[in-house]
A and B are shown apart, each in its own frame.
Chain A
Amino acid sequence: MLKRHEAALYATWLIILVAIPAPLVYFLNQNLVDTRQNILIYSFGVVAYVWWLTIVFLSTRPRWLDRLIGLPSMYFAHALLGVLALSFATLHKLQAFSIDETIKNLGNYAWYLSIFSIAYAIFFMSGWLVDRMRFLKRIKNQLHFIFKHQLSLWIHRLNFVIIGLIWLHVHLIGRISGITNFIIIFDIYTIFALSAYAWHQFISYDQKKYSGQVIGNFPLDATTQQLVIKLGQKAADYRAGDIFFLKFKKNPVISSEAHPFSVTSSPDESHRVVTFTIQRLGDFTKAINRVAIGSDVQLEGPFGMLDAIVADSAKKKQPVVLYGLGTGIAPLRSLAVKYANKAAIHVIWSTHRNSEIYYDEDFLSLKNNDAHFKYDVKKARFAQENLMSILDKTEISAARFIIVGSAAIVLNVESNLRKIGVAGNRLIDERLTM
């Protein structure tokens, strides 16, 4: 990770964990006449609620925050905060007391829903468990017929019910809602987080800067589609390896939920036309081949830090190994095109089938034009001994590795790389949790 990003990440966590809840905890402590123990118990609940709101805000993917800490860190904060908020809410729930049934029930319902919501998200939406335990992955895949991504998103939105229940719970406690400065900040936080979410969902996508049009849509192989989109005039410039969230609004052939995809093209090829390589696996991606040429598409973004990371390596003359697994090659092709002849690039591409090496010619062409460019492709995974033979000593001891692909396999590749001597702090990944 870059030093600047590391500092930004620490600062972000400090702000989220301490600075944002601090005014509410301060005013509660200053104004509520109660024992220290009780105020601490109430503070646990307040902090949990503030973190819950922060989770909502992070789900709006603020681009300024992406440029500071990156989208994966933002998602990680979103997920970890959920667990932390539930822990604090549990401390509050187990120790707080109210004789009023309504207040008690509102708090209890919010807590039960939180447990369900977080357990569901950990299992179905994060890769924390399924990427590490095969039997859980199998169970998830079997249940996927019922709990489709679209349904999971709606279940995830139960978080707004939780927020509503807690909001009412607090407002009904006269001793607390009567503390004016506390309750005003409490309400401002709530309105801000919900407004940011509403803006993101209902307004932001219609801005001209997000507009685009499909100008190409063709299969690369039996399960992979290439989508070419012409960006609108006001769209922000993208960088190599960036991510856009694509949304097809009011298109009868495909769901209107936004989904993330990495760019395959490099801005050096055409900064107004962007190409995506999409594996047709889920409900959304299976329908992508039916999107007609000329369809309107909204592109939220671009997000990503891979370009900045490779640029940093190029500046330091540090070799870069771009390790793609299947369609994980997409952002790496973009980076390879941009940084060939500017940095020592080594592309490693592991595929399922021979037919999947749809960018083979591009990489061979880069290799022909750049003496330092290395390219290895294989229709299978690279075992440790394969890696030892294709990576030179400098790469093992000094190169930065960027690995993109299915989460479980990425973890496996990283384990192999560590075993042959690659330091963990030089491994950067983008995991695609299916």
Chain B
Amino acid sequence: MKTRVTLFIAAIAIIATAVIGFDLLRGQNKNSPTTTVNQNVSSNNQGGKVKGKQKTLIVYFSRREAASSIYKDRVLKIGNTKQIADMIKSKTNGVEYEIVPVKDYPKSFDRTSEVAQQEQNDNARPKIKNPIPDVSQYDTIFIGAPVWWGDYPMVVHTFLDAVDLNGKNVVPFSTHEGSGLANYPEVLRRQYPKARILKGLAIRGSDVAYSRGDVQGRVDRWLTSLGY
């Protein structure tokens, strides 16, 4: 009986050590974005409208090829997120900036999804190929991307780390297949506690790809509600 008890306790101790050790190792490998961002969040920095004549920058990250690989009967000429960015640009007379990674993502959605998760697990900051714009010239910055694993793609985090948007109007938008805006407002709120995070817009990627659900009308109504 004593041997069995000893073996039982030893087995549990080994399993517990292995599992918790794995958890700790994973935690060390991942300098989690969830724990490194500024936690001093003001709760009064969401909603409202842009005021007066605004200089607007539309920052977006779009993956035409990966999105195309989902829709078997359709090849996209323009990525879904870029289409939304273009609609915002035409209504706001803003300036577009596309985040282009140095290392391109795979063309298939599934492979992109795997890479995206790995980047998220590693809290990676993939490099951006094109120069970061001088955001100080703008009053309002729209930041849009497809939702990857409930978050902005990590290359967008690279952009967010590179600029200071405190004191500005910041507006999230996303294309998704069910995640809505995911954590976008919260990410921006924590990253820029002194920014005014305005009401964001989430559009299903498939609505954009198949021109369903009056996407243009929804974007226009949203921008109107923001004061444009």
Most buried by B among A31, A97, A175, A207: A175
Instruction: Report whether A175 and B150 are in contact in the complex, using a CB–CB cutoff of 8 Å.
Output: yes
Q: How many whole Å from B205's CB to the nearest CB in chain A? A: 10
- Count chain B residues whose beta carbon lies closer than 8 angstroms to a beta carbon of A: 38
B20 in contact with A187 (CB, 8 Å):
yes
B32 and A178 contact, CB distance less than 8 A? yes
From residue 247 to 268 of chain A, which have CB atoms closer than 8 A to chain B?
none
Let me know if A361 is at the binding interface, CB within 8 A.
no
Say which one of A195-203, A214-222, A274-282, A350-358 lies at the interface with B. A195-203
Interface string of A335-353 (1 = CB under 8 A from B): 0000000000000000000
Complex Cα spacing A180 to B123, Å? 14
Asked if B182 and A180 make an inter-chain contact with CB atoms under 8 angstroms apart, the answer reads no
Provide the B1-45 mask, 1 if CB < 8 A to any CB of A, else 0.
100110010001001100110011011001011110100000000
Residue B179 CB within 8 A of the other chain? yes
B181 → chain A closest CB, angstroms:
7
Q: Is the interface of A mostly helix, strand, loop or mixed?
A: helix
- Are the CB atoms of A203 and B113 closer together than 8 Å? no
How many Å lie between the Cα of A341 and that of B33 in the bound state?
72
CB distance from A247 to the nearest CB of B (A): 16
Question: Chain B residues near A198 (CB, 8 Å)?
Answer: 8, 12
Q: Are A32 and B34 within 8 A (Cβ)? A: yes
Q: How many residues of A contact B (CB 8 A)?
A: 29
Chain B proximity mask over A172-205: 1 for CB below 8 Å, otherwise 0: 0011011110011001100100010011001100
Instruction: Give the chain A neighbours of B35 by CB distance below 8 A.
Output: 31, 179
Verify B19–A203 contact, CB threshold 8 A. Answer: no
Contact (Cβ within 8 A) A178 B20: no
Report yes or no: B23 in contact with A175, Cβ–Cβ below 8 A.
no
Contacts of A203 in B (CB 8 A): 4-5, 8
Q: Report Cα–Cα, A4/B182, bound state, in Å.
A: 48
Chain A, Cβ-Cβ closest to B152:
A33
Question: Are the C-beta atoms of A35 and B186 separated by less than 8 Å?
Answer: yes
Residue of A at shortest CB range from B7?
Answer: A203
Max chain B C-beta neighbours (<10 A), residue from A31, A98, A180, A198 = A180
Task: Collect the chain B residues with CB atoms within 8 Å of residue A237's CB.
Answer: none
- How far does the alpha carbon of A407 sit from the alpha carbon of B12 in the complex, in Å? 40
- Chain B residues proximal to chain A, CB less than 8 Å: 1, 4-5, 8, 12, 15-16, 19-20, 23-24, 26-27, 30, 32-35, 37, 113, 117, 120-121, 123, 149-151, 177-183, 185-187, 190
A-B contact pairs, 30 of them (CB 8 A): A33-B37, A33-B186, A33-B187, A33-B190, A34-B150, A34-B186, A38-B183, A97-B179, A98-B150, A100-B149, A174-B117, A174-B120, A174-B149, A175-B149, A177-B23, A178-B26, A178-B27, A178-B120, A179-B34, A180-B23, A180-B24, A180-B27, A180-B32, A184-B20, A184-B24, A187-B16, A187-B19, A198-B8, A199-B8, A208-B1
